Amino acid sequence: MQNLKPDMNLHCNPAQKRAIMHDKGPACVIAGPGSGKTFVIIQRIISLTRMGVNPGSILTITFTKAAAIEMQQRFIKETNSVYPEVLFGTFHSIFYHILNSDKLTIIKETDKYKVLSHILHGRDYDSEMIRLMLSEISRLKNSGLCPEERDKAVPFYEDFPKIYEEYLIILKEQGLIDFDDMVLLCRDYLLRRDDVRKKWQERLAYIQIDEYQDINMMQFEVIKLLLGKDRNLFVVGDDDQSIYGFRGSDPELMLGFKDHFEDAKEIILDTNYRCAPKILEASKSIIDENKIRFKKDIKAGKKGDLGIITGKSFSDKKEQYKSIIKEIKSFEANAKMASKEDVTLSDFSIIVRTNVEATAFAGMLGEAGIPCSYKEKVVAFHEKAAVKDMISYLSFIHDGQKRSDFLRIMNKPVRYISRAALEGKEKIEEKDLLLFYARQSKINMTTTVQKLFRDLKLMSKLSPKGAVHFIRGFMGYDKYLKDKFCASAKVLEGHMSDLDEFEKLCENFRDYQDLKEYIEELDKTLEVMRNVKVCDKKGVRVMTMHASKGLEFKRVYLPDLNEGIVPSRKSITSSEIEEERRMLYVAMTRAKEELHLSYVKGSKENPMRMSGFLRPIRDLFRDGNIDDILIK
């Protein structure tokens, strides 16, 4: 076996060296952002081979295929392809290989929606409810819980156990499994077959896991079954970057590593080589507010420039976005004049909480002629279900009383208006509906129709904001939502949040025509974004906080840091709030040299609050200078 020559001049800090030189037994490496965790993992593989370990017995597990490929390529480059037998893969690819079954067929994501749609046939549901149910099914499987232990906010709470069981039966009948089933099947297979378990324990003598804070209970159980007598498990992660609770990931598995492996070594990589000192100190002051975490004192590894961090407030979102765009355009102009090539727009990132905000920002950059890269799903705010109902109400009364609009609103709230009453009509008029129900001698329905059209007439005289407020309150739309989603708190909270934001947006429009023109322009922008991939590699990177994990940029903008957005209104429990704070910490620590934070303060009539997470650095937003607060 060809050996690499010992690297006597390997440049690393003492903590990195302790991790790299770790040989046998369990070890937990707590690696903060920019601390060189990938460097440590690769160098440890090299170190093990120098100690005489069989390269084919070393497995490194990642959570994504892209991460596995990137790490493998870095290892190959570092070792000049000397050890191609070293294994890299995702949990699912490794478990699939262990199962070694050609009969397993993974169900497509779109087919999952079709299966649940079939089960829910005849019920009142939408795609968002299906998404939440699939997420809960996944969480239960990954956590090893039964359907009776479901989240109280899941749609169709009472019937969920039956729906869950029917979902499993349909998949089994069709010979399908999902990715979560693969983990469960692998666990059961290894428990059932001692011979297979021992074979893989001998084969995989050294197991490394990257981003260990994202592991879930079922994955952990399979890993334990794969460990041999020496229990050579080397995990690397950062509990402060655990942001996938909705997938079932459990940071407690990292925090409690020594409870499972009493003799485990614990190594903290305490030097951040990415963030400038000001940015690091601000980020630390925020994450230190979390209670459930390893206490650690991360130091800045960068020397010289302290970096730039700013905090700004704006009267509304439009002003905020325009300010960011103006700064970027100013940089573009100055860079061209100075012929600078060391910093490009691809070194800039705008990181937001959700895909809706990311889509809006990417669209505005496009309109301003600023190249950008946006790889996530294009989601428009006005395409949200409850917002579409509001638009249909407004469109019906102002835009020709179209059948399509009436179909959407006629029973929201429930009025028991029948589709048969609309038969053969493209324009829906009060007199036609009254005639239909009069012929059936349904006096109560004629009263209902008269009230609806009387309300619509009153609504037609109001501004867009006034009309939305009228529909939600006087016409009973909010009560309709509360009744419909009484057992689905998260769905209800999402719809109410969307309506609040839409009602606020409507303040900007004098009449329906203004609003209609805005939506039409937005639709044109979205059409372009959906048909033409917004992926200019030289452009500003626009993404969500979740998507930013693992990336870094010279300049980062974090807008919309308002209470109700960060943390999300949907986050209620202390653990959910702490995960939201971790998400902000992840976003802040993507910045290498400059970090620009902002929030919307609103108006006197409609004030908005700065995120409570920013309390430790609130003085930054008073005078724009954080030197005296954080830099000692």
Q: What is the DSSP string of 146-160?
A: -GGG--TTSTTTTTH
Kind and range of the H or E run holding 280? helix 277-287
Closest CA relative to residue 350, chosen from 556, 565, 599, 585? 556
Range among 282-291, 378-387, 530-539 rated most confident? 282-291
Res. 451: pLDDT tops 70: yes
> Which H or E element spans position 202?
helix 194-203
Tell me, what's the pLDDT at 417? 94
Q: Read off the pLDDT band of 341 (50, 70, 90).
A: low
Could you tell me if residue 248 is left (phi over 0), alpha (psi between -120 and 50 degrees) or otherwise beta? left
Q: Has residue 5 got a pLDDT over 80?
A: no
Q: What is the pLDDT of residue 365?
A: 87
As a whole number of angstroms, the longest Cα–Cα distance in the chain is 95
pLDDT tens per residue, range 576-605 = 899 999 999 999 999 999 999 999 998 777
State the average pLDDT over residues 60-86. 92
CA distance 301 to 630: 17
Least confident interval from 135-149, 240-254, 535-549: 240-254
- pLDDT bin (cut points 50, 70, 90) of residue 261 is very high
Whether residue 364 has pLDDT greater than 60: yes
Query: pLDDT tens across 278-337, in order?
Result: 999 999 999 999 998 998 889 999 887 899 999 999 988 889 999 999 999 998 888 766
More confident residue, 42 or 81: 42
Residue 629's pLDDT is 39
∠ CA 476-405-495 to the nearest 5 degrees?
45
- The top-level CATH class assigned to 307-375+534-621 is alpha beta
Among 72-86, 162-176, 499-513, the minimum mean pLDDT is found in: 499-513
- Contact between 546 and 28 under an 8 Å Cβ cutoff? The reply is no
CATH code for the part of the protein at 14-100+184-273 = 3.40.50.300
DSSP secondary structure of 416-457: ---GGGGTT-SB--HHHHHHHHHHTT-HHHHHHHHHHHHHHH
Identify which of 176-180, 455-459, 485-489 has the greatest average pLDDT. Answer: 455-459
215-230 pLDDT, tens per residue?
999 999 999 999 999 9
Residue 605: what are its φ and ψ, rounded to 5°? -75, -35
Q: Enumerate residues 6+ apart whose C-beta is below 8 A from 443.
A: 437
**CA 241 to CA 180: how far, in whole Å?**
22
- Look at residue 404 and tell me whether its pLDDT is greater than 60: yes
First-to-last CA distance in the chain?
53
Burial of 436 (0-12, 13-18, 19+ CB in 10 A): buried
Q: Residue 381 above 50 pLDDT?
A: yes
Which pLDDT belongs to residue 377? Answer: 66
Q: Which residue has the tokens 């960060």?
A: 566
Would you state the structure tokens that stand for residue 628, as one six-digit string?
A: 């005296």
* Helix, coil or strand: residue 58: strand
Decide whether 108-177 matches 307-375+534-621 in CATH topology. Answer: no
- Looking at the DSSP bridge assignments, the partners of residue 535 are 373
**Helix H or strand E encompassing 480:** helix 477-484
Q: Which residues have a Cβ under 8 Å from the Cβ of 315 and sit 6 or more positions away?
A: 600, 601, 602, 603
At 631, is the pLDDT very low, low, confident or very high (cuts 50, 70, 90)? very low
User: What Å distances lie between residue 279 and 241, 308, 515, 586, CA to CA?
Assistant: 16, 7, 40, 12
Q: Return the domain boundaries, the chain.
A: 14-100+184-273, 108-177, 307-375+534-621, 382-519
Sign of CA dihedral 267, 271, 273, 276: positive
Whether 162 has a pLDDT exceeding 60, the answer reads yes
- Residue 427 β-bridge partners: 402
Q: What are phi and psi of 534, to 5 degrees?
A: -85, 80
> What would the DSSP string read from start to end of 396-414?
HHHTT-BHHHHHHHTTSS-
Architecture of domain 108-177: Orthogonal Bundle (1.10)
How many Cα atoms occupy the beta-carbon half-sphere of 535 within 13 Å?
Answer: 8
Q: What percent of the chain has pLDDT over 90?
A: 60
CATH of 382-519, one of 1.10.3470, 1.10.260, 2.60.120, 1.10.486: 1.10.486
Measured at the CA of 549, the angle between CA 224 and CA 39, to 5 degrees, comes to 65
- Two tokens, residue 336: 């061209």
Q: Check residue 374 and give its pLDDT.
A: 81
Banded pLDDT at 628 (limits 50, 70, 90): very low
Please name which of 139, 571, 181, 167 lies closest in space to residue 159, comparing C-alpha atoms.
167
